[in-house]
């Protein structure tokens, strides 16, 4: 039986406020509360609430035959709690159906795996605890930020107890092989790998409303016809995309909700089944897959250049993680929370200078006029954050001189 693994990423960052040089040392807040609230409410009204309602109706209609999976970042869960708790409640209603698998990821939607293994593990554990507390599921499958994977990340994820991980089915990774199989990690054979079918996924996520696309308009019948053309022996088609595809990236008047409403029934009639990542881990695998260099689901290159491709990004990234020792010694819960939110990958994405084939994607929800503005603002925040950490740690040392490691476990 051929299977569809339908996975949605749900994420929004805490965006920074304008933080000029002269604010450094003035004890100001870092995040733009008004902008974050307004954007969250906008996306929730256009996407999260109506899409969740539609999925709930589809679960009632198709029962256990239709299943999906979500990865919801800790940053947006915190925003739901702060600004719109009804969105969390709508996801809890989906969880109660038993038709949804919630995946694990880094709490801050960060690139910590590329820099700091201990921080990566802390965030993954914190996120798993948050998911379990909200939705009653301890995640069994893992999805790293932006589907970033390399063999060394797979080792860590496996050693944390996960049995399956999602990543990108990039051409430079697969070569002649198809993404429509289950693979296993070359370095940890017990870790199974699900690879995104980026062509079919991006037909929905990016090309759906593009009137210059030769396949426009994309209907559910046409899409199911493409699925049905896949070879019988190719056992799983992984459709991975941002949840914001529905109603935000692709507006309601494009017909995107109608497409989603019709798709499950037409897929099921063709003899496909829907499967979640942890269920897919039990399929027979096609063999080992080695990915020595990081792959992601971003841009044409499917690498890390969207976040770490220029000197500004790398300087900011290095400066951020140079602060880790100060954070570990700190007992201030608010500063630890800021540390988490400052790690979110979006801050580095805004500094990207790739304004060619992928330029429009990098402008989406970007609050800055230029990558340089994003870099300067972020570095000003880090400078202020470092000063705050120094002050707090000096006070702690004065009050508790016998303590040497105040906070080996970061709280969220």
DSSP state of 353: -
Query: Which sign, positive or negative, has the C-alpha torsion 241, 247, 248, 251?
Result: positive
CA distances from 57 to 47, 62, 67, 138, 251 (A): 15, 9, 12, 25, 20
CA distance 374 to 15: 11
List 101, 105, 119, 146, catalytic entry: 146
The closest of 146, 155, 143 to 304, measured between CA atoms, is: 146
Question: Catalytic annotation on 146?
Answer: yes
CA distance 220 to 267: 9
Taking a C-beta distance cutoff of 8 angstroms, is the pair 166, 103 a contact? yes
What beta strand segments (E) does 156-269 contain?
Answer: 164-168, 182-185, 192-196, 236-242
Taking a C-beta distance cutoff of 8 angstroms, is the pair 192, 157 a contact? no
Torsion of CA 140, 128, 96, 276, to 10 degrees: -30
Q: Residue 123, exposed/middle/buried by CB under 10 A (0-12, 13-18, 19+)?
A: buried
Taking a C-beta distance cutoff of 8 angstroms, is the pair 335, 392 a contact? yes
Catalytic residues: 146
């Amino acid at each position: 039986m051929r299977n569809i693994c339908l996975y949605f990423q749900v994420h929004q960052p805490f965006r920074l406020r304008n933080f000029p040089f002269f604010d450094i040392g003035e004890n100001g807040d870092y995040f733009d509360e008004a902008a974050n609230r307004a954007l969250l409410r906008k996306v929730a009204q256009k996407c999260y609430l109506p899409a969740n309602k539609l999925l709930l109706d589809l679960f009632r209609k198709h029962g256990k035959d239709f299943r999906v999976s979500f990865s919801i970042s800790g940053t947006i869960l915190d925003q739901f709690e702060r600004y719109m708790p009804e969105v969390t409640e709508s996801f809890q209603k989906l969880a109660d159906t038993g038709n949804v698998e919630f995946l694990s990821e880094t709490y801050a939607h960060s690139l910590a795996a590329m820099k700091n293994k201990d921080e990566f593990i802390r965030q993954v554990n914190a996120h798993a605890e948050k998911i379990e507390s909200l939705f009653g599921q301890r995640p069994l499958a893992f999805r790293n930020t932006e589907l970033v994977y390399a063999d060394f990340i797979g080792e860590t994820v496996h050693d944390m107890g996960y049995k399956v991980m999602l990543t990108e089915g990039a051409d430079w990774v697969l070569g002649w092989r198809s993404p429509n199989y289950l693979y296993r990690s070359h370095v940890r054979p017990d870790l199974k790998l699900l690879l995104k079918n980026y062509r079919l996924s991006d037909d929905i996520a990016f090309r759906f409303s593009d009137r210059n696309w030769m396949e426009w308009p994309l209907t559910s019948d046409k899409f199911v016809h493409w699925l049905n053309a896949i070879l019988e022996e190719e056992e799983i088609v992984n459709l991975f995309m941002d949840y914001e595809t529905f109603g935000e990236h692709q507006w309601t008047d494009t017909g995107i909700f109608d497409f989603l409403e019709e798709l499950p029934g037409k897929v099921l009639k063709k003899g496909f089944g829907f499967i979640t990542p942890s269920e897919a881990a039990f399929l027979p695998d096609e063999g080992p897959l080695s990915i020595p260099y990081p792959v992601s689901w971003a841009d044409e290159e499917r690498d890390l250049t969207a976040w770490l491709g220029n000197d500004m990004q790398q300087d900011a990234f290095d400066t951020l993680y140079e602060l880790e020792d100060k954070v570990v010694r700190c007992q201030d819960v608010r500063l630890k929370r800021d540390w988490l939110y400052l790690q979110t990958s979006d801050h580095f994405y805004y500094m990207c200078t790739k304004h060619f084939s992928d330029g429009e994607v990098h402008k989406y929800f970007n609050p800055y006029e230029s990558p340089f503005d994003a870099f300067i603002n972020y570095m000003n925040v880090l400078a202020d954050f470092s000063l705050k950490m120094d002050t707090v740690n000096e006070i702690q040392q004065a009050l508790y001189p016998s303590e040497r490691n105040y906070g080996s476990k970061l709280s969220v």
